[in-house]
């Protein structure tokens, strides 16, 4: 996918997830089923995962190179990245404490929705400073997947919101 498609997908997928959550009643948004995260916690988790990516992409390219290095391989395509991530999850991979949400409060949902929309919009703006080649050159650390190119990290971010949308939907329909 080129970066324009990635940006479009990031916005559409996050908007779709948030619009789904905003239609939930307070009990649906706030109650845990089967000891799983509530819908509110799913929203906070997505916010907690997008924010540091936006922050790191705010760094100058030279700093990214010095701190994280560059790739010595081609970027995986979207499907290969998703396959790698789902395999890690199937083997017990879970979010680290840094990305673990607190209790999602119903009355804070609009504020969190706005914060997430701002982060996604800002993330898309940060993508503009990178060329297509840059997306495949610079690497970033992922807590479960290891070093990913920026393109792969963006693919992960696209899939990640879809993954949590599906989990939330499934937990509500149990």
> Which of the 8 DSSP states describes residue 95?
-
Give the length of the chain: 174
User: How far is Cα 160 from Cα 90, in angstroms, rounded to an integer?
Assistant: 15
Report residue 70's pLDDT band, with 50, 70 and 90 as the boundaries: very high
pLDDT in tens, 96-133: 676 777 876 787 888 999 999 999 999 999 999 999 99
Report residue 174's pLDDT band, with 50, 70 and 90 as the boundaries: low
**Distance, C-alpha 147 to centroid of its chain:** 16
Max CA pair span of the chain: 49
pTM of the model: 0.94
User: In terms of DSSP H, where are the helices of the chain?
Assistant: 3-22, 26-30, 39-56, 61-68, 78-90, 109-127, 132-137, 150-172
User: How far is Cα 12 from Cα 173, in angstroms, rounded to an integer?
Assistant: 23
Say which residue the tokens 């706005």 belong to: 114
State residue 141's pLDDT score.
95
User: How far is Cα 157 from Cα 127, in angstroms, rounded to an integer?
Assistant: 13
HSE-up of 76 (CA within 13 Å, CB side)?
17
Q: Among 75, 51, 48, which residue's Cα sits nearest to residue 135?
A: 75
Higher confidence at residue 99 or residue 51? 51
User: How far is Cα 40 from Cα 20, in angstroms, rounded to an integer?
Assistant: 11
What is the average pLDDT across 17-32? 91
* Structural domains of the chain, ranges and CATH numbers in brackets: 3-172 (1.20.120.450)
> Which of the 8 DSSP states describes residue 24?
S
pLDDT, averaged across the chain? 92
């Amino acid at each position: 996918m080129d970066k324009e498609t990635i940006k479009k997908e990031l916005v559409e997928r996050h908007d779709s997830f948030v619009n789904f959550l905003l239609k939930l009643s307070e009990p649906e948004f706030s109650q845990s089923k089967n000891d799983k995260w509530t819908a509110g916690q799913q929203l906070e988790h997505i916010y907690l995962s997008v924010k540091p990516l936006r922050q790191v992409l705010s760094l100058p390219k030279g700093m990214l190179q010095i701190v994280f290095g560059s790739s010595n391989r081609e970027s995986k395509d979207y499907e290969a990245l998703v396959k790698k991530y789902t395999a890690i999850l199937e083997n017990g991979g879970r979010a680290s404490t840094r990305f673990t949400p607190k209790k999602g409060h119903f009355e804070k949902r609009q504020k969190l929705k706005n914060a997430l929309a701002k982060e996604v919009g800002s993330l898309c703006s940060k993508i503009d400073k990178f060329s297509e080649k840059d997306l495949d050159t610079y690497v970033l650390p992922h807590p479960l997947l290891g070093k990913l190119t920026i393109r792969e990290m963006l693919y992960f971010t696209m899939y990640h919101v879809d993954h949590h949308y599906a989990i939330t939907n499934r937990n509500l329909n149990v």
